[in-house]
Chain A
Amino acid sequence: MNITKFLLLAVLMPGIDVLAAAEPLLERLRVDHAAWATAERDFRARRESGALVGAEASDYAAYVARLQRRVAEDCAALSDAGLPSPEYMSCPHFETAVATRSAAIDQAAEQSRDERIASLEVELASGLADFDELLLREQERVKAAAPRSASGGGMGSGTDEDGHGGDGSGGGEGSAGDTGTGDASTTSGARSQAGGVGERSSSGAGGAPGRTSRTGATRQPPGIPDGRDDDVVARQLREAAEKETDPELQKKLWEEYRKYKQGTR
């Protein structure tokens, strides 16, 4: 009796070993698969409703792709352990992931139809994940390249949606209306922009040509009139004065500007 038990155990042991080793793999696959399915469903629903855009969407897509890749790896591991993926998951490419793992380069010609499809599936999923990462990087770059000037008037990035519509929302507070009246104060970035042409830098040399260069501060003596009704000559004088770095010369230029403005009134 004991001998029979022993023999039976000896026959079944390898199978039991395999099952015991497969259990954590199966569990991991179940968890990963559930996470992937839920995330993908949620991602699709959010994307279709328009609730998910930009960097957030790219992030989420990359996350879903990573989960998908993990599921494919779980399937491969299960296959290596000599067990098939559970059928109820109804995901044929899982099996193929196994094949992809086990199929060495030289064995490609010997792949079965399913293995071949699985291999292509994994390649596709991997390509999608890489592309998600590329887009994510690109979106980060775009975000970093957003013009600094947007925050100058207290309107943080992306807040111009209403503001520039001109429909009464009145975007930047701290606007420029009060400039030029004060003492020898420095005018804010926002004000300088409002000054118009003068603040634009079109040097074209060095740095990022054409990008608006906001030095942030322009010294302006007291009593300088508002530049909003400047004609071309006045604007050029103003521009020269604003750009001038030599204080003496700058003072003279402002004086010229003031005289000219008085003369044209």
Chain B
Amino acid sequence: MRCCRVLIPLLLLLQAGCSTLGLQRDIGNEVALQHATVEIPEDHLLDVWIELFDAGALPRDKDDASGLSMDIRQAESRYMPVVLRDAMEKTGYWGAVRVVPRDTEGGEVVVRGAILASDGERLELRITALDATGREWFSRTYESARVEASAYQSGVQPPAEPFQSVYYAIANDLASFRARLTAGEITTIRRVAQLRFAADIAPDAYAGYLQHNDQGHYSITHLPAGNDPMYRRVLAIRERDFLLVDTLNGNFDNFYREMQQPYSDWRRTRSEEAASLHQIEQDALKRKLLGVAAIVGAIAIEASGNGQRSASSSVLRDAMVLGGVYAIKTGFDKDSETGIHRDAIKELGDSFASETRPLVVEVEGQTHELTGSAEVQYARWRSLLKQIYASETGLDGGAE
């Protein structure tokens, strides 16, 4: 017992701590975006690659999943990283912030996200950030406060993002972690990112410059010489890699802009319908309960009379029974109203999904085409670098 007295407050304290600092963050409506107060020197800027989010799964509960679809989620998994990117770009803490396909190699800081919940009223994201050395900065769940339909102001161009606070909170957490890094750590991250790219593109020459342990952490064993011609070639290819990522971002930007208005409309409408649905469900339940209570009350009057029924109690009992039946009936009527709203939500979801699907396919097709074409190029360059390396070092077998 004594143990519990100590343990329970401790657990509560721990839980409270987690909500602000630990694995779970509950985000209020007003989170201000932190901006860098001084200009960060160029050699201290880290480039951030935000991977396309994992679309996650739909809620198991049929009602909660009403009007949602994986098509919408797929669209959101491309839309949300752009919102986060734009928030981060405004802070002044980072170098280039770019959205990239999942599992793209070469970023100095990589941000991965998974959509845990998104229905227009609520947004829950799991965000993991790590740097090129393989160190995980954090992995947290961000849960928004419930957003009212009124937050989606129609007529505002471009539409406001009601969950902006979530994105700002993520951007702030990333900036806070970055602020704790020393100049030496930042330099190491940048060098490791470069060497990882070099090792990927010219493994014969650079795989030995890095050590990679079982935990997925990279450390530098030695650095290339400043005038290393092979490294210069690798860096020239890396420039093309950046350009490729920039070009991909053009596709993601277009997709974002195309989706912005219909997505805002869909979320607003769904929130309205969902709010109506909740209200009607509550009303229906209340009415049914009242009806049942009235009938139960009438039966109680009947029972308490012990057969000696006065006229007034009889009238009261009858009124209560009738009232109860009526209340139950209107409760059921309300149930049918919920059905209408549920259908409306489903219809909205279907309509939005059918509208965004071609957009998603389009952006996927374009990015795949581009990355596919880049892969062919990179394979050729890898082969060329291998041959050059073999010739320069006198090692045979590089020729193809």
Which A positions have Cβ atoms within 8 angstroms of B? Answer: 43-44, 47-50, 53-54, 57-58, 61, 92-93, 113, 116-117, 120-121, 123-124, 127-128, 131-132, 134-135, 138-139, 142-143, 145-147, 149-150, 152-153, 155, 158, 160-167, 170-172, 175-177, 179, 190-191, 193-197, 200, 202, 204, 208-212, 227-228, 231-232, 235
Contacts and interface: CB of A to CB of B under 8 A. Distances in A.
Interface in B186-238: 229, 233, 235-237
A111 to B, nearest CB: 10
B240 interface: yes
A55 B392 CA distance: 35
Contacts of A61: 239-240, 243
A58 B239 CA distance: 10
Contact of A235 (B86, B164, B269): B269
A209 B384 CA distance: 42
Nearest to B163: A166
A24 B155 CA distance: 66
Most A Cβ at <10 Å: residue of B254, B269, B272, B366: B254
Most B Cβ at <10 Å: residue of A50, A149, A165: A165
Interface in B321-354: 344, 347-348, 351, 354
SS class of chain A's interface: helix, strand, loop or mixed?
helix
A202 B351 contact: yes
Contacts of B42: 48-50
Given A50-B95, A134-B373, A190-B157, 5 more contacts: A61-B240, A116-B391, A132-B240, A172-B158, A175-B157
Contacts of A152: 157
Contact of B247 (A135, A177, A231): A135
A160 B87 CA distance: 12
A228 B250 contact: no
20 contacts: A50-B45, A58-B247, A127-B381, A127-B384, A138-B247, A139-B246, A146-B257, A149-B258, A155-B157, A161-B86, A163-B158, A164-B158, A165-B87, A177-B155, A191-B155, A193-B261, A200-B261, A204-B354, A228-B155, A232-B347
Contact of B233 (A124, A153, A172): A124
Contacts of A120: 384, 387-388, 391
Given A113-B391, A124-B233, A228-B155, A164 B260 contact: yes
Given A50-B96, A153-B158, A92 B229 contact: yes
Contacts of B258: 147, 149, 210-212
Contacts of B272: 231
Contact of A155 (B158, B247, B358): B158
A119 B250 CA distance: 35
Contacts of B158: 153, 155, 160, 163-164, 171-172
Interface in B123-174: 154-162, 164
A152 B366 CA distance: 25
A148 to B, nearest CB: 10
B362 interface: yes
B89 interface: yes
Contacts of B58: none
A93 to B, nearest CB: 8
A143 B260 CA distance: 18
Contact of B237 (A128, A160, A161, A191): A128
B240 A164 contact: no
Given A50-B95, A142-B247, A193 B157 contact: yes
B384 A176 contact: no
A213 B89 CA distance: 30
Contacts of B279: none
